[in-house]
Amino acid sequence: MKTAPTLHTERLILRSLTLEDAADIQHLAGEYDVASTLSNMPHPYGDGMAEEWIHSCYNKYKKDKALNFAVTLRTDRHLIGGIELRLDRGNENGELGYWIGKPYWNRGYCTEAARIVVAYSFEVLMLNRIYAQYFKRNAASGRVLEKIGMCYEGCLRQHTKKWDNFEDLMRYGMLKTDFNSLAPISS
């Protein structure tokens, strides 16, 4: 069972999720500060929820609806986060979503992971457009999208209700014609 192909970057290996990842995901994604800026991350993150979610990722991959990568460190293979590409094959586009465990923030890991997934999307999946959205208060996510070369496309005011608060949603995107590959994809 697979949820994604394997991709290598300088410091990371992005690979398919397995059920053995469930405990790490529950631990890292279960942190309040990780869940708080994700529209559909459960909190508290109870037993069995990660396994259920991994199963849903298998199904989405099988139906060509999404790729879900475990983001792991090259050095010790430790899982540090997750990245998803939701596919809309009819419109040849994909939506990027990601999280990194709090102990690993601000070391460039999300940028490195997002960059290779974007490259894979344009060069291997042959998509025409990739986009992403984040809560306006989540400046770190906006910075990641700027660093990978996405353009600001607009703000959907109070678009999402998260834990009883309406959140402004910032939308960023990139077309295949905007994309300059820096290096060939290593998989």
Ligand X SMILES: CC(C)(COP(=O)(O)OP(=O)(O)OC[C@H]1O[C@@H](n2cnc3c(N)ncnc32)[C@H](O)[C@@H]1OP(=O)(O)O)[C@@H](O)C(=O)NCCC(=O)NCCS
Q: Is there a contact between 9 and 187 (Cβ–Cβ < 8 Å)?
A: no
One of 45, 69, 109, 120 touching ligand X (CB under 6 A): 109
Q: Is there a contact between 138 and 37 (Cβ–Cβ < 8 Å)?
A: yes
CB of 107 to ligand X, least distance (A): 5
Q: Is there a contact between 41 and 35 (Cβ–Cβ < 8 Å)?
A: yes
One of 77, 107, 157, 161 touching ligand X (CB under 6 A): 107
Q: Which is nearer to ligand X, 16 or 30 (CB)?
A: 30
List binders of ligand X among 25-44 (CB under 6 A). 34, 37-38
d(CA 114, CA 145): 8
Residue 111 sits in the site that holds ligand X (CB under 6 A): yes
Q: What is the DSSP letter of 146?
A: H
d(CA 68, CA 147): 21
Residue 98 sits in the site that holds ligand X (CB under 6 A): yes
Q: Which is nearer to ligand X, 2 or 159 (CB)?
A: 159
Residue 45 sits in the site that holds ligand X (CB under 6 A): no
Q: Which is nearer to ligand X, 62 or 102 (CB)?
A: 102
Q: Which is nearer to ligand X, 56 or 111 (CB)?
A: 111
List binders of ligand X among 112-151 (CB under 6 A). 134, 138-141, 143-144
Rounded to an integer, what is the distance from CA 76 to the centroid of its chain? 21
Q: Which is nearer to ligand X, 23 or 139 (CB)?
A: 139
Q: What is the DSSP letter of 114?
A: H
CB of 59 to ligand X, least distance (A): 22
Q: Which residues pair with 96 in a beta bridge?
A: 85
Q: Per-residue DSSP letters for 82-113?
A: EEEEEEETTTTEEEEEEEE-GGGTTSSHHHHH
Residues that bind ligand X (CB under 6 A): 34, 37-38, 98-100, 105-111, 134, 138-141, 143-144
